Amino acid sequence: MRKSSEPQRDRTVAILEDLIRFTDTAARLVTRGKSVYDSDEAVRLAAEAILHKIGEAVARLPDEFVGTHPDVAWRSMKATRNIVAHRYDQVDYEIIWNALARRLPVEADRIRLILENR
């Protein structure tokens, strides 16, 4: 018989796995290079979509889980989602690139560590 916390745990693990999948997709986009990113609107829009999905996934994590893992930039990921979703005309594509190329790999490593220790 499952404990009542197990469905919540399974849901949390599924969300974390989604986050890893999204960050892996972002990493593949980054391997195309900054010049491709700068010159191809479709690639920039794909980057926005990835960040949007990451923010949505983070928003679905239980507050108590987020609170027990303060080393991950959960709030920043949600805030980025809000910018690309609601202020699309104000998106700074340099900030988006830096999020994909520099910040997401760090956060992905932290999320992988959480998954390994569960």
**pLDDT tens for residues 32-65?**
999 999 999 999 999 999 999 999 999 999 999 9
Please give the pLDDT value at position 5. 58
Is 0.75 surpassed by the pTM of this model? Answer: yes
For domain 5-117, give the fold: Four Helix Bundle (Hemerythrin (Met), subunit A) (1.20.120)
d(CA 41, CA 17): 28
Element (H, E) at 61: none
* Residue 2 confidence (pLDDT) above 60: no
pLDDT in tens, 60-118: 999 999 999 999 999 999 999 988 888 878 889 999 999 999 999 999 999 999 999 98
